[in-house]
Amino acid sequence: MTKKIQTPLTREKVRELKAGDSCLISGVIYTARDAAHGRLCAALERGEDLPVDLREQTVFYAGPTPPPPGKPTGAIGPTTSVRMDAYTPQLLAYGVNALIGKGGRTQPVLAALQQQDAVYFAAIGGCAAYMAACVESCDVVAYEDLGTESIKRLRVRDMPLTVAVDCHGGNAYTDGMNAYADMMDGQKG
């Protein structure tokens, strides 16, 4: 069963999500990649306010391409999440409560997701054109000088995602590998 969820996600909604859940997310999400993460964390370390309040918000590791005529954005696919792992625990402690990207996460991020009651969604790599069709609006809200890597506020409708890591320690990546290993062991016997 696919869960329809609306942003901003409350902590209660985050706690209801389980690794492996299929979701359609609608509402406002923010894009941010490596360079923006570096600036955000540097500002937090200096005790400065962030240029956009990301508390209880969803951050999508993506840099949308320029829009074709009549569209809010061009292709928008997930960036490999581990590239943001050096920054992620700090942003989760600040109050970000949902992340979207692709691929596994390091142990410090897995621990921070549990500590902060946050969730990590996996988006399908290679489906950037399809993901763009879910975007209703796209506005630069910070670090415009970074171009495609600037922070953008997206309004999305029914963007397909899978809960990769939940706040309870569930991990679809490791669960999937373990299930496959069990299946292979069963075929050997």
Annotated active-site positions, please? 37
User: Rounded to an integer, what distance in angstroms lies between the CA atom of residue 146 and that of residue 109?
Assistant: 25
**Tokens 């309004």 belong to residue:** 155
How remote is the C-alpha of 84 from its chain's centroid? Answer: 11
Contact between 29 and 157 under an 8 Å Cβ cutoff? The reply is no
Residues sharing a CB contact under 8 Å with residue 93, sequence separation 6 or more, in sequence order: 112, 116
- Residue pair 59/99 in contact by the 8 Å Cβ criterion: yes
- What is the SS3 assignment for 150? coil
Is residue 78 within 8 A of residue 125, CB to CB? The reply is yes
* Single-letter amino acid code for the residue at 3: K
